[in-house]
Amino acid sequence: MSKIPNTFPPDPKQNRILGALPTEDYERLLPDLELVELPLGWVMSESGDHVDFLHFPISGIVSLIYTLEDGSSSEIALVGNEGMVGISIFMGGESMPSSTEVQSAGAAYKLSRRIMRREFALGGTLQRLALLYTQALICQTSQTSVCNRHHSLDQQLCRWLLMSADRLHSNEVKITQETVARLLGVRRESVTLATRQLQKDGLIVRTRGHICLVDRPEVENRACECYEVVAQEYERLLPYPNRAR
């Protein structure tokens, strides 16, 4: 993936994990961080791929997507600037059963497998943050599975919109209804009906390729408890605020 010209590079500390590192650890890591684009739709890795780089997003959203043998798929987790992509590097599994795909364009700092393993072996703050983040990610994937099985599409959609808005630090999500349907693993027509009702009720405004939350408190009320459970777990485990208000 193409590098971004580094005349005035964005601060790596826009990624919350990098931003939480002690000065000594951060400065040791800084020369090995490389700024790269996260273009919309980029498949960073397929299921089973050997992952060579850990990515720390500073903007945008990366989706973890699980695809079945019949080709159907759904999103199992979202990653924004609160986290990292490529946890198999330090978890020892070499690969993941899910694929990773950029849902909202942005940028990230990437770190090689070799450097991350060196840092992880030191047993310092980065190791601790990486493990805490992984625990929070497991919570998100588990809760998403329960949500998809037990809650209505309206509730799932509100949860998904809130989680996306948190990671974009904006109440506007640039995405098509077709993509939302694919990520939620439902028919596009169902998403069209659900978003139409949310707009009729004054919670969102939808235009082509955009969904804007205009009444976020009510969207939160309409969402199932899964959103709050995951948000609280991130806030409990990681030393920074997770949600943008």
How far is it, in rounded angstroms, from Cα 80 to Cα 67? 21
Classify domain 12-124 by CATH number: 2.60.120.10
Sign of CA dihedral 229, 234, 239, 245: negative
What is the SS3 assignment for 16? helix
* Model pLDDT, residue 243: 43
pLDDT in 10s for each residue of the chain, 245 residues:
556 655 668 999 999 999 999 999 999 999 999 999 999 999 999 988 889 999 999 999 999 999 888 888 899 999 999 999 999 999 887 778 889 999 999 999 999 999 999 999 999 999 999 999 999 999 999 999 989 889 999 999 999 999 999 999 999 999 999 999 999 999 999 999 999 999 999 999 999 899 999 999 999 999 999 999 999 999 999 865 444 43
* Model pLDDT, residue 94: 73
The DSSP result for 110-176, as a single string, is EEEHHHHHHHHHTTSHHHHHHHHHHHHHHHHHHHHHHHHHHS-HHHHHHHHHHHHHHHHTSSEEE--
Return residue ranges of the chain for CATH 1.10.10.10. 152-223
* Model pLDDT, residue 97: 84
How far is it, in rounded angstroms, from Cα 120 to Cα 190? 44
One-letter amino acid identity for 105? A
Cβ-based neighbour number of residue 137 at 10 Å: 23
* Residues contacting 119, CB < 8 A, separation 6+: 25, 28, 29, 126, 127
Sign of CA dihedral 197, 170, 165, 34: positive
Cβ-based neighbour number of residue 154 at 10 Å: 18
Are the C-beta atoms of residues 45 and 51 closer than 8 Å to each other? Answer: yes
Return residue ranges of the chain for CATH 2.60.120.10. 12-124
* Model pLDDT, residue 49: 87
One-letter amino acid identity for 27? E
Classify domain 152-223 by CATH number: 1.10.10.10
Is the pTM of the predicted complex or chain greater than 0.75? yes
